[in-house]
Amino acid sequence: MDPLNQVRDPMLLESIINFAGMIGLVGMILLSIVLVFKMERLRTLNAELAKLRRAFEELDEQAKLIVRTDLELHRAQEELDKKVAGLVTLQKLTRLLTTTLDEEEIFHKLDERNICELGYDRALGFTRDGQGSFLVRIAIGYAPAEAQALAGEFTGQPMIVDKVLGKSNVFASSDSDRTAQEIPRLLKALGLSSFVCAPIPQKDGAIGALVLGYESPYTHLTDSDKDLVYVLAAQIGQALENAKLFEEQWRAQQDLENKIQQRTRELTAALQEIKAISKRKSDFISAVSHELRTPLTSIKGYASIVAAGKLGELPPAAKERIEKINKHSDNLSSLINNLLDIARIESGREVLKFEAVNLKALADNLADMLAPPMKDKGIEFSIQIPPEVPLVRADRNQIDRVFINIVGNAIKFTPPGGRITVAARLQDPQTVEIKVSDTGIGIAPNDLEKIFEEFYRVDNEVNQSAKGTGLGLTLVKYIVEAHHGKLSVSSQVGHGSHFIFTLPKA
The contact set with ligand ADP (CB under 6 A) reads 405, 409-410, 413, 438, 440-441, 443, 451, 456-458, 463, 468-474, 497
Q: How would you class 132 by CB atoms within 10 Å of its CB: exposed for 0-12, middle for 13-18, buried for 19 or more?
A: exposed
CB 115 within 8 A of CB 123: yes
Question: CB of 255: closest distance to ligand ADP in angstroms?
Answer: 45
Torsion over CA of 163, 168, 173 and 179, rounded to 10 degrees? 0
Angle at 229 between CA 228 and CA 234, to 5 degrees: 100
3-state secondary structure of 308: coil
- Taking the complex as a whole, the smallest distance from the CB of residue 319 to ligand ADP amounts, in Å, to 29
d(CA 104, CA 252): 21
Q: Bridge-partner residues for 496, per DSSP? A: 492
Residues 6+ apart with CB under 8 A from 448: 489, 490, 491
- Min CB(409)–ligand ADP separation in Å: 3
Q: Is the Cβ of residue 329 or residue 474 nearer to ligand ADP in the bound state?
A: 474
Cβ pair 209, 136 in contact under 8 A: no
Which residue lies nearer to ligand ADP by CB, 275 or 327?
Answer: 327
- The candidate with the shortest Cα–Cα distance to 173, out of 134, 221, 205, is 221
Provide the minimum distance between the beta carbon of 466 and ligand ADP in the complex, in angstroms, as a whole number: 8
Amino acid at 329: S
> For residues 432 and 458, which CB has a smaller minimum distance to ligand ADP in the complex?
458
Minimum distance, C-beta of residue 331 to ligand ADP, in the bound complex (Å): 11
404-421 as b/e: b if 16+ CB within 10 A: ebbbbbbbbbbeeebebb
Identify which of residues 223 and 330 has a Cβ nearer to ligand ADP in the complex.
330
State which residue, 106 or 363, has the beta carbon closest to ligand ADP.
Answer: 363
Comparison of 322 and 443: residue with beta carbon closer to ligand ADP: 443
Report, in Å, the least distance between residue 254 CB and ligand ADP: 47
Q: Is 210 helix (H, G, I), strand (E, B) or coil?
A: strand
Distance, CA of 306 to CA of 322 (rounded, Å): 7
| Nearer to ligand ADP (CB atom), residue 9 or residue 461 | 461
Cβ distance to ligand ADP smaller for residue 277 or 466:
466
Q: What is the 3-state secondary structure (H, E, C) of 430-474?
A: CEEEEEEEECCCCCCHHHHCCCCCCCCCCCCHHHHHCCCCCCHHH
CB of 491 to ligand ADP, least distance (A): 7
CB of 273 to ligand ADP, least distance (A): 27
